[in-house]
Structure 1
């Protein structure tokens, strides 16, 4: 690696305000605000709106699709043969 062209990677605390959870990880992001972590050291803290602790994809809070209704509508529209995947005999 060339010297002085890469950003400095440091420990940073990302704090999810929605879930009231904090993560200590390495990042090139920096902040003036500091927070005292569990190990007694002070780290820069960055507040985020969404993280894995509050995002619907990770928490299972996303909407559930009505797949049974979609299958029934497909069968009504195209018939049972199309749903089963069978094809008419070709000559």
Structure 2
């Protein structure tokens, strides 16, 4: 590897404020703030808004689109498919 070409890669704590969850990993992210981890060492801490602990997809709280319900609403509002019209669109 060439020297002085790659960013500094070090241990960092990422803290999800929404879930109250923190995890230690290696990253190039930096921070002026630090935290003392469970092992007694002090690491830089980066606060994030969302992580796998609070993201709706990973927590199972993701909204699903009810396409059948939307189609039923459309047909109720505008009538059933093809009511009163021929194949060419004339009545």
TM-score under structure 1 length normalisation: 0.73
Displaced runs of 4 or more, over 4 A = 70-74
Question: Matches of 1:6 and 1:32 in 2, distance apart?
Answer: 21
Corresponding position of 2:26: 26
What is the aligned partner in structure 1 of residue 52 from structure 2? 52
The superposition leaves residues 60-82 of structure 1 with CA deviations (integer Å, 9 ceiling, x where unpaired) of: 111122144367679x648xxxx
| 1:5 matched to 2:8 | no
State the superposition RMSD in angstroms: 1.9
Between the aligned partners of 2:81 and 2:46, the Cα distance in structure 1 is 52
d(CA) in 2 for partners of 1:54, 1:11: 22
Distance 1:53 1:37 in 2: 19
Structure 2 gap segments, 5+ residues each: 83-91
Task: Give me the TM-score of the superposition, normalised by structure 2.
Answer: 0.73
- 2:32 counterpart SS class: coil
Would you tell me which structure has more helix in proportion to its own residues? Answer: 1
Q: Give the distance between the partners of 1:53 and 1:9, measured in 2 at CA.
A: 24
Q: Which runs of no fewer than 5 residues in structure 1 stay unpaired? A: 79-91
Length, aligned pairs only: 77
- How far did residue 30 of structure 1 move? 1.0
